[in-house]
Amino acid sequence: MIPTVGADFVWRMEDLLDLYAEPYAPTHPTVCFDETSKQLVAETRLPLPMEPGKPERVDYEYERRGTANLFLVTEPLTGWRHVDVTDRRTKHDFAQQMRELVDRHFPNADRIRVVLDNLNTHTPGALYEAFAPEEARRVLRKLEFHYTPVHGSWLNMAELEFSMLSRQCLDRRIGDRDFLTTEVAAWENARNEQRATIHWQFTVHDARRKLHRLYPS
């Protein structure tokens, strides 16, 4: 008999892989949601500008200015993504992100399938803590949550977008939230103009072959 942890991992994994295998449906979009933090670090001395044959040079000293939170949502099949920079990542912030999905980003969808991890703020109950019951129910009627397995966050394609954001935009010192917001918005616009899609290739068949140790023998 398969262990409980393994069984839970398997069904959550196969649920996501089946979801990713479905064709694009504008009335039932699949979006991937995730969040991360960015430490705000300011320069204490002006960097020396780039010169022919010499890269930009920065001083080793820096000033910590707290952290900012980034919420990212992406629709992999259409090449769309959006990032919000916030001060916090509370249940109320999560609830607001879900309402934005319903009312702003996908107002014409019948149902939005949301892939997300098991963070304790990522619950339907968070919407009831943030909004009146009627409003929470209105938003949740349009949402269908699909959770990644524990230790299976790699199954969330939003992590791929965060990896790109980190390499292309965040891998440097950024000293304040306003500048961070401006830079992230520029990155988002450029990626969306490119319509950079994610071609997910790992299937249920692949999982049963490569991760067979998680399945009953």
Q: Are 31 and 198 in contact (CB under 8 A)?
A: no
Tokens of 217: 């023998």
pLDDT value of residue 179: 87
Task: Tell me what the mean pLDDT of segment 20-38 comes to.
Answer: 95
pLDDT value of residue 141: 98
pLDDT value of residue 170: 82
pLDDT value of residue 194: 94
CA 162 vs CA 28, 84, 122, 182: distances in Å: 24, 12, 18, 17
Residue showing tokens 């994610």: 198
Strands (E), the chain: 30-43, 62-75, 80-86, 112-116, 143-147
Q: How many Cα atoms within 13 Å fall on the side-chain side of residue 40?
A: 16
Name which residue leads in pLDDT, 43 or 184. Answer: 184
Q: For 215, which DSSP code?
A: S
pLDDT value of residue 2: 41
Tell how strand 62-75 and strand 30-43 pair up. antiparallel
- pLDDT 10s digits, 53-66: 666 555 555 566 58
pLDDT beyond 50 at 1: no
25-42+61-206: CATH topology: Nucleotidyltransferase; domain 5 (3.30.420)
- pLDDT 10s digits, 65-118: 588 999 999 999 999 999 999 999 999 999 999 999 999 999 999 999 999 999
The CA radius of gyration of the chain, in Å to the nearest whole number, is: 20
pLDDT beyond 50 at 30: yes
pLDDT value of residue 52: 77
